[in-house]
Structure 1
Amino acid sequence: MSHETIDLHSAITALSCSLDLVGIDEIKHGKRVAMMAYHIAAELNWPESERLGILHAGMLHDCGVAQIREHRQLTETLEWDGAEAHAERGADYLTACPLLAHLAPEIRYHHSRWERLLQLPMDQRTRLRANLLYLADRIDVLQVPYLNSEQILTAAPDIVARLQALSGTLFAPELLDAFARVADSQAFWLAMDPDYLDEDLRALGKNVAPVALDYTAQRELARLFSRVVDAKSAYTEQHSERVALVARQLAADFGITGRELEQVEIAGLLHDLGKLRVSEDIIDKPGKLTHSERACMQRHSYDTYRILQRVFADSKIPVWAGFHHENLRGEGYPFKSSGAAQDLECRIISVADIFQALAQDRPYRDSMALPDILDDLHRRVSVGELDASVVDKLTEHADDYYALARGG
C-alpha cells in the first residue's frame, strides 16, 4: 500500500474551498469562522495545538451543508430550527474519516446554545470548542453586510453588543469576553479581507508538519468530500462512490496497479467536487437547461481541477478528475482537450461517469437498462467521443459493472 506525504493544513484549506462554493454569496465563510475562532482561542491562551485544531474545525464546520438553500437559511438569522440537521450530518461525515474524526464532537454541536450544552454529558473542552465555533459562525453572519469595507469598523461595536446580550444563553460568557477584547482591535475585522485571510492561513500552515497518509486514509478523506457533493440531490446519492468503484475496476482490468490504481479511485471519488457551486435547482431540474444554467454546470469540472491541484499537486489526480467531461473529439469541457492530450485514466473516468449516471435515476429520466446503456456508450464511440477500448472492456463484464454502478 502506497503512502503520500501531504501538507494536511493546506489540504484542509484547499478542500474548504469546495465548501465555500456552496455559499456563492458569502465565499470564504468557513475560513473567516476559522480565523476568528483561532484569534479568540489565542486570547484565551489555548495551546497552539488547540488553536490549530479549532482553525481546522472552523474551515470544515459546514461540511454537512451541500444545498445552497440550506446555506442561505443558516446565514440569514442567528438561530434557525433546521440547523441541527447539517451539524449531525457533518459530524457523521467526519466520524467516518479517521484523519479528522477528532473534530466531529464540536462540529456536531456547533449550533447548540450554551445553556443546552451545559445540560449535555460532555467534557468542558468539547463544550467550549463547539460554542466557540457557534460564536464565530454568528459573528460572520452579522459582519457579512460590511465585508471588504471599512464600514465594518463602525458596525463592530453594535455586533459586539448584540452578541454580548446573549451571554449565558447562546454563548459562554468567557468566550464573549475574549471576543470583546479582540474585537476592540480594528485589525481583527480588517483581517477578514479575502487576500489577507489567505495570507494568514498560509502563514499558520507553516506550523503544521506534513503527515504521511496511507491509501486508506487518503480514500477516506476523499470519501468525506464525495459524500458532501453527492448530498446535493437525492438523484446523485452515492454517484461519486460508484463512479470510483467502476473506474477502479476498469483500470484494474487494463492492468493498472499500485499507486496509479489507487489514484484512479480517489479521482473518481472527487471528480464532481466543483459541483458544490451548482444550485440544486439546476441539478434537480427535470427539463432542458437554459444557456445560463448549462454554463453554470460546465464550470464544475474546472473548479474540481483547480481545487484538487492544491491538495494533490504532485499527482495526476487533478487532471484525471478535472477532465471527466472532455471527449476524444475535443468538444468536451472545460479544456477542449482532444484524445491525444488525455491519459487512459481520464478516458476511464469519463466512461465510468457516463455509465453510472445512465444507470441511476435522474430528475429528467428513469435509470436505463443495461442493454440501452451499452447502446448509448457504443454510439458515443462511433461518433468519436469515447475510447473504444474502454467501452469494449466494460462491455466484456457489463453485468458486473452494472452491479457496481447500481450499488448491487
Structure 2
Amino acid sequence: MLHQNIAIPTATRADVIAAFSYALDLTEGQPAGHCIRACWIGMQVGRELGLSPAELGDLYYTLLLKDLGCSSNAARICELYEADDRAFKQGYKTVGTSLAATLHFVFSKTARGRPLGRRVSAIGNILRNGDAIAQEMIVSRCTRGADIARTLRFSNAVCDGIYHLDEHWNGSGRPGRLEAGAIPLFSRIALLAQVVDVFHGHAGASAALEEAQRRSGIWFDPELVRALESAARHHSFWTALASPTIETRVVRLAPAEDGDRLDDDYLDAIANAFGQVIDAKSPFTAGHSRRVGDLSARMAQGLGLSPGRARWLRRAAVLHDVGKLGVSSAILEKPGELDEREWAEMRTHTTHTRAILGRIGALADLADVAAAHHERLDGTGYPLALPAAAIGRETRIITTCDIYDALVSDRPYRPALPVEEALRTMEVASGTAIDPDCLAILKASLA
C-alpha cells in the first residue's frame, strides 16, 4: 500500500550537505569523508584566526562544498588525457608544486597503455595547449560549483570561496591568477585544508604538515600555515580525522540555522542541485536527472499517487544516478560495448546510490527506491536481481522514465531515437523490464 503523506525526518541543512559531500568525494576519487575532514581542518584554522561566528558559518559551507563543480571536468579529463578521470584527479592532488613534477605526472598518465603514436599525439596536444586546457577545465569547474551553490541559497562569500578554490598565494593559480590578499580568505583556507587532508591520508600527519610548510608563500598564505601549525599542536586535531565520529563532530561545528528551514522546498533545491552535479559528469546526460524527475512526477499523479508522494518520488528520480559520480568517465563515455570489467564497474553505481542516499536522514527513504531502477520484472536486473513482487511501483515509474529518456537522447554508442521508435523499443521490453501499466501512463503523459 502506498503512503500518501510523507513526513520529513528531523534534520538540519548541515546534516544533509555533510552527507551529500560523500558524493563529491566519489567524483574526485578521494577516500570517503574527504570533504568532511577538510571541513574539520579548515574550521580549526578559522578558529585559530579568530573568525567571527558569521565568517565561520560561511567558511563551513565553503569547505563542505568546495568540490561542488568537480564533475564538470570529468569527461574532459578522460578525453584529453585518455585516462580514468577519478584516478587522474586523485593522483594529481599528491603532485608537488614544481613544473617538473607536474609534467612528469601528466606525461606518465596520459594515454598510458595506448600505442606509441597515440600517446605521442595526446602528449603533444597537451604540450601545445596545456595552459589553455587547464584554464578551460578550472573555469568550468569553478563556475559550475559557484552557480550550484547559489541555487542552494548560499551567500556570495561561499560562492566566491568555491569559485576561487584553485588560486595560489603567489599568483600561479586559477581561474583569476589572483595573488595574496586578493584571494578570498575562505578559498585560501579551503585549498590548504584540502591539501592537508590529501597528504595526511597519503603519508600521515608529519607529511601533511611538512607539505603545508613547503607550499607556504607559494600556494598558501603563510599566516594560515602558522594557524594550521598552532591548531595541529592539539592532539584532537589529528585524532579527530581518523575517528569514526568525525562526521558527527563536523555537523556539530555547523552555524546556527540561517533561515533556510529543511522543508520540502529546500529538499527539492538540494535534489535539483545534486542532479546538476550528476548530469555534469557526462555531456550525454545533460538534463537527464531533471527530465526523469519531472516525467516521474507526472506519471505518479497519473497512477493515482498524491501530490505529496509525487513530489517525494521526483526527488528519488532526480537522484537515481547519483552513484554514477563514482564511475569512471572512460566507461560512461565509451562509444562501444563495455567489457566484463567495465560492466562490473558500471553496475556499482546503483550500490553507490543506495549508500549515498542512505546516509542522508531526510532522504534515506529514497535510497532503496532510487537504487533499484535497474532491477527488472523478470528478475535479471541489478544490483539484487529482485523478483517482480519486490519491485515497488515508485521504482517501476523511475525505471520507465529512465529508459525512455535514455532512448530519446544521444548516447556515446548511438544517436537519439525518435519518440515513436523509442516507444516501440519499450513495448518489446514490456512485462520483462518495464511495467506495462507504467508504459501506458508514459504514453498518455507524452500525448
Please indicate, yes or no, whether the TM-score normalized by the shorter chain is above 0.5.
Answer: yes
* Residue 91 (structure 1) aligned with residue 146 (structure 2): yes
* Alpha-carbon distance in structure 2 between the residues aligned to 1:265 and 1:126: 39
Deviations 1:41-65 (A, max 9, x none): 1112224454344233212101101
* Alpha-carbon distance in structure 2 between the residues aligned to 1:96 and 1:208: 17
Instruction: Decide which moves more: 310-319 or 218-227.
Output: 310-319
Partner of 1:329: 378
* Residue 24 (structure 1) aligned with residue 29 (structure 2): yes
Gap change, CA 1:191 and 1:358, over 3 Å in 2: same
The match for 2:89 among 71, 75, 78 is 71
Gap change, CA 1:191 and 1:214, over 3 Å in 2: closer
* Residue 237 (structure 1) aligned with residue 286 (structure 2): yes
What's the RMSD between the two structures over aligned residues?
3.1
- In the alignment, residue 266 of structure 1 is paired with which amino acid? R
TM-score between the two structures when normalised by the length of structure 2: 0.77
* Residue 15 (structure 1) aligned with residue 29 (structure 2): no
Deviations 1:84-124 (A, max 9, x none): 4312210011112226776212111122234669x999xx8
* Residue 193 (structure 1) aligned with residue 242 (structure 2): yes
Partner of 1:248: 297
- In the alignment, residue 107 of structure 1 is paired with which amino acid? I
**What does 1:148-227 align with in structure 2 at a 5 Å threshold?**
152-153=205-206, 155-156=207-208, 158-166=210-218, 170-185=219-234, 187-193=236-242, 195=244, 197-201=246-250, 203-204=252-253, 212-227=261-276
**What secondary structure sits across from 1:247 in the alignment?**
helix
* Alpha-carbon distance in structure 2 between the residues aligned to 1:344 and 1:199: 35
Gap change, CA 1:316 and 1:199, over 3 Å in 2: closer
Asked if 2 retains the 8 angstrom alpha-carbon contact of 1:63 and 1:90, the reply is yes
Gap change, CA 1:271 and 1:194, over 3 Å in 2: farther
Shift of 1:25: 4.9
The match for 1:133 among 185, 190, 195 is 190
Using the aligned pairs only, state the percent identity.
27
The match for 2:315 among 246, 266, 269 is 266
* Alpha-carbon distance in structure 1 between the residues aligned to 2:182 and 2:314: 37
Shift of 1:355: 0.5
* Alpha-carbon distance in structure 1 between the residues aligned to 2:96 and 2:142: 15
Partner of 1:287: 336
**What does 1:291-310 align with in structure 2 at a 5 Å threshold?**
291-310=340-359
Q: Which runs of 5+ in 1 are unaligned?
A: 401-408
Asked if 2 retains the 8 angstrom alpha-carbon contact of 1:37 and 1:133, the reply is yes
Asked if 1 retains the 8 angstrom alpha-carbon contact of 2:357 and 2:364, the reply is no
* Residue 366 (structure 1) aligned with residue 426 (structure 2): no
Partner of 2:158: 103
Q: Which runs of 5+ in 2 are unaligned?
A: 75-84, 98-133
Gap change, CA 1:314 and 1:62, over 3 Å in 2: closer
* Alpha-carbon distance in structure 2 between the residues aligned to 1:316 and 1:141: 32
Asked if 2 retains the 8 angstrom alpha-carbon contact of 1:40 and 1:179, the reply is yes
**What secondary structure sits across from 1:134 in the alignment?**
helix
- In the alignment, residue 439 of structure 2 is paired with which amino acid? V
**What secondary structure sits across from 2:304 in the alignment?**
coil
Instruction: Decide which moves more: 18-27 or 371-380.
Output: 18-27
**What secondary structure sits across from 2:406 in the alignment?**
helix
Asked if 2 retains the 8 angstrom alpha-carbon contact of 1:7 and 1:211, the reply is no
Deviations 1:111-145 (A, max 9, x none): 2234669x999xx8982122111221233344342
Shift of 1:40: 0.5
Partner of 2:64: 59
Gap change, CA 1:247 and 1:78, over 3 Å in 2: farther
Shift of 1:29: 2.4
Instruction: Decide which moves more: 26-35 or 306-315.
Output: 306-315
Asked if 1 retains the 8 angstrom alpha-carbon contact of 2:282 and 2:329, the reply is yes
Paired residues in the alignment total 387
Shift of 1:216: 2.9
* Alpha-carbon distance in structure 1 between the residues aligned to 2:166 and 2:36: 17
Shift of 1:185: 4.2
Shift of 1:163: 2.7
Gap change, CA 1:97 and 1:138, over 3 Å in 2: same
**What does 1:395-406 align with in structure 2 at a 5 Å threshold?**
395-398=443-446, 400=447
Deviations 1:352-381 (A, max 9, x none): 000000011001111111222111211111
**What secondary structure sits across from 2:187 in the alignment?**
helix
Deviations 1:328-348 (A, max 9, x none): 222211232222222211110
Deviations 1:174-206 (A, max 9, x none): 322211212344543343226353353355469
**What secondary structure sits across from 2:381 in the alignment?**
coil
Deviations 1:239-288 (A, max 9, x none): 11111111111112122222201111111110001110000000011111
Instruction: Decide which moves more: 173-182 or 344-353.
Output: 173-182
* Residue 44 (structure 1) aligned with residue 49 (structure 2): yes
Asked if 1 retains the 8 angstrom alpha-carbon contact of 2:142 and 2:163, the reply is yes
* Alpha-carbon distance in structure 2 between the residues aligned to 1:371 and 1:75: 48
Instruction: Decide which moves more: 309-318 or 26-35.
Output: 309-318
Gap change, CA 1:305 and 1:359, over 3 Å in 2: same
* Alpha-carbon distance in structure 2 between the residues aligned to 1:314 and 1:216: 13
**What secondary structure sits across from 1:6 in the alignment?**
coil
Shift of 1:291: 1.4
Deviations 1:153-185 (A, max 9, x none): 3x355324303343xxx4334322211212344
Asked if 1 retains the 8 angstrom alpha-carbon contact of 2:408 and 2:422, the reply is yes
